[in-house]
Amino acid sequence: MASFAARARNLKRRFPHSTSDLKDVLSEQRIAELCHAVGHTGRDCFWRPMVVVITFLRQVLLPNCSCRQTVACTLADPTLTPTQRPRPADDPSAYSQARQRLPRALLERLARGLSQELAEPDRRWHGHRVRVVDGSSVSMPDTPELQAVFPQPASQAPGCGFPVARLLAVFCWCSGALLELLVDGLHVGELTLFRRLLACFEPQDVVLADRLYGNYAELALLQASGAHAVCRVNRARRVDLRQGTRLGQHDRLMVWRRPKDVNLARLRERPEDLPETLTVRVVRITTECRRAFRKRRIDIVTTLLDPVAYPREALGELYRTRWLAELNLRSLKTTLGMDVLRCRSPEMVRKELAVFHVAYNLIRVLMRQAARVYDVDPQRLSFAGTRQRLLAWLPRWIATRGRAPHAQLLTRLLADIAADPLPRRPDRHEPRAIKRRRKSFPYLVHPRHRAQKTAHYDKR
C-alpha cells in the first residue's frame, strides 16, 4: 500500500500547473492586460472592465437572467463592491452602457486564451488530434438592426419571424472544448463557414463531421492542407463497394473523379486546390436501428488510407463519437441558454456569443482539471452540474487572496465535480417529443401592428 506522502506527490504531479492559475483568467490584472492589448481605456468608476466581464459572465451562466437581476447580484456581492467606492444605483442602464463600451476584441481574446489552454488533448486517437465540426443556429430579438445583418428565414412572413444567425463550431474530441466559433447570417452556408476555418487545422489533424462534409470539395481541401477527414458519405454520391481496391471486408480504396457540378463558383479564387482525382477509403459499418429493429448500414469516407494503422472497426467507433458534437451544442444552447440571445444590436450579439464561448470553456477547464486529478473519464462528468458548482463557488473564488487559499478552494471545487459522475448509459435513446402541452394560442401570421386590429387573434 502506498504511503500518504507518495499519494500526495502523485497528486501534485498529476495536478496541471498550467491551469493552477485559473483565477488569473478573471483577475483585475488579467483584464487590465487585455484592455491594454486592445487599446481600451476603462473609466475609473464602479463599472470597470473586470466588474463588467464578471457581471456579463454571471448573466450568461444564470438561466433566464435579466440585466436587472444580474446587477442586483453584482451589487450584493461584497467582493465586487469595495467600501471605499460609492455604491451605484440599482438601475441597470449604467451596466448596459459599460457593456456597450467594452470592446469585443477583449472578450474574443479572453475566449481564445481558454481555447488555447484546452487545444492540446490529453489523449489522441491513433496519434492524431481529432476536431469535431458541426453547425447550428441561434435566434435573437426582432429588431431592425438585427434583421439587416441576420435576416429571418425566407419562409416566414415579414414581421412574424426572428433574426437567425448560423454558427459553425469546432470542438476538441478529447476535452469537449469549444476551439472555434464562427457566426454569420443564415444565407451563408455551413460549408462556406467551414472553408474559412481551414487554416486552423494543423497537419495530421483528423476532422470528424457529418455527411454534409463527405463530398469531393471538402475532402480535397482538407487533404491539400495536410489534415484528414472521417465523415459519412454525402447523400448525393452513390457508393458501390464492388468497385475499387479491396482492403478487407466492406473496406475499399477508391479513386473519385471531380464531379462536373462541383461548387467551383465558391472556389474560383483557388481552383488548383481541387485536383482531377482524389484517392479515398470507403468503409461500411453496421449498427442497430431501434426504430425498425433491424441492421443499419453506414458508409464512411476517410483520407486515412492505411487499413493496418486504422482498422475499419476503429473508424466505425470514431464516427460513433461524432454525436459528442450534438451533446456539446446542447450544452451550449440548452444548458447555458444560448439558443435565444438577448442583445439587440449586431455588435452586442457578437459580444454575447464571445461571453458564451468564455463561459463554456471555463466549465470545460474545470471538468478537465477534475478528470486529470481524480482519474475520472471526462465524458462522465456533468456539464450542468459543473456549471451549478461554478456558480456556487464563483463569489468565494473572486474574493480569495493568495495562492495557497486559492489552491485549497480549487481542490475542493474539483473534488465536488469529480464526486458526481454521470451513470453509464450506452446507446441511450430518447424520443424527440415534448410531453408538456403548449398553450392553445394561435401563431402570429401577420405583423404585430396588423394583428392588433385583427379580430382573428381575439378568439379562443
Number of neighbouring beta carbons within 10 Å of residue 256: 17
Rounded Cα distance between 320 and 327, Å, is: 13
To the nearest whole number, what is the mean pLDDT of the chain? 84
Instruction: Output the nine-digit C-alpha cell for 156.
Output: 416566414
Which pLDDT score is estimated for 14?
38
User: Are 167 and 350 within 8 A, CB to CB?
Assistant: no
* % pLDDT > 90, the chain: 45
Rounded Cα distance between 358 and 352, Å, is: 10
SS3 214: coil
Tens-digit pLDDT profile for residues 412-437: 889 999 998 888 877 777 777 888 88
The answer for 244, left when phi > 0, alpha when psi is -120 to 50, beta otherwise, is: left
Rounded-to-10 torsion of CA 271, 230, 331, 122: -110
Instruction: Output the nine-digit C-alpha cell for 202.
Output: 494543423
Lowest mean pLDDT among 127-136, 158-167, 261-270: 261-270
Sheet of strand 130-139, all strands in order from the earlier edge strand to the far edge: 178-185, 164-172, 130-139, 206-208, 228-232, 294-302, 277-289, 251-257, 245-248
Structure confidence at residue 16 as a pLDDT band (50, 70, 90) = very low
Lowest mean pLDDT among 70-84, 117-131, 190-204, 301-315: 70-84
Which pLDDT score is estimated for 326?
93
Instruction: Output the nine-digit C-alpha cell for 328.
Output: 456539446
SS3 251: strand
Rounded Cα distance between 68 and 59, Å, is: 10
pLDDT at 291 over 70: no
Comparing 304 with 61, the larger pLDDT belongs to: 304
Which pLDDT score is estimated for 432?
76
Tens-digit pLDDT profile for residues 236-245: 888 888 888 9
Structure confidence at residue 262 as a pLDDT band (50, 70, 90) = low
Which pLDDT score is estimated for 409?
82
For the chain, state the CA radius of gyration.
25
> How far lies 445's CA from each of 143, 157, 454, 456, in Å?
18, 7, 11, 11
Type of residue at 198: L
User: Are 45 and 84 within 8 A, CB to CB?
Assistant: no
Instruction: Output the nine-digit C-alpha cell for 200.
Output: 486552423
**Mean pLDDT value of segment 257-282:** 70
pTM assigned to the model: 0.87
Which pLDDT score is estimated for 20?
37
**Mean pLDDT value of segment 291-315:** 85
The residue to which cell 441558454 is assigned: 337
Which pLDDT score is estimated for 342?
92
Tens-digit pLDDT profile for residues 342-392: 999 999 999 999 999 999 999 998 899 899 889 888 888 999 999 988 888
Structural domains of the chain, with CATH = 21-107+347-418 (no CATH), 113-331 (3.90.350)
- For the range 298-302, what are the long-range contacts, defined as Cβ-Cβ under 8 Å and sequence gap of 24 or more? 298/232, 299/232, 299/233, 299/239, 300/230, 300/231, 300/232, 300/233, 301/214, 301/219, 301/229, 301/231, 301/232, 301/233, 302/228, 302/229, 302/230, 302/231
**HSE (CB half, 13 Å, CA atoms) of 424?**
2
H helix or E strand, kind and range, residue 183? strand 178-185
- Angle at 426 (CA atoms; ends 125, 250), nearest 5 degrees: 55
Number of neighbouring beta carbons within 10 Å of residue 450: 12
Which pLDDT score is estimated for 219?
93
H helix or E strand, kind and range, residue 282? strand 277-289
Contacts for 147 with CB less than 8 Å, ≥ 6 apart? 163
pLDDT at 290 over 80: no
Which pLDDT score is estimated for 288?
66
Which pLDDT score is estimated for 263?
56
Which pLDDT score is estimated for 392?
81
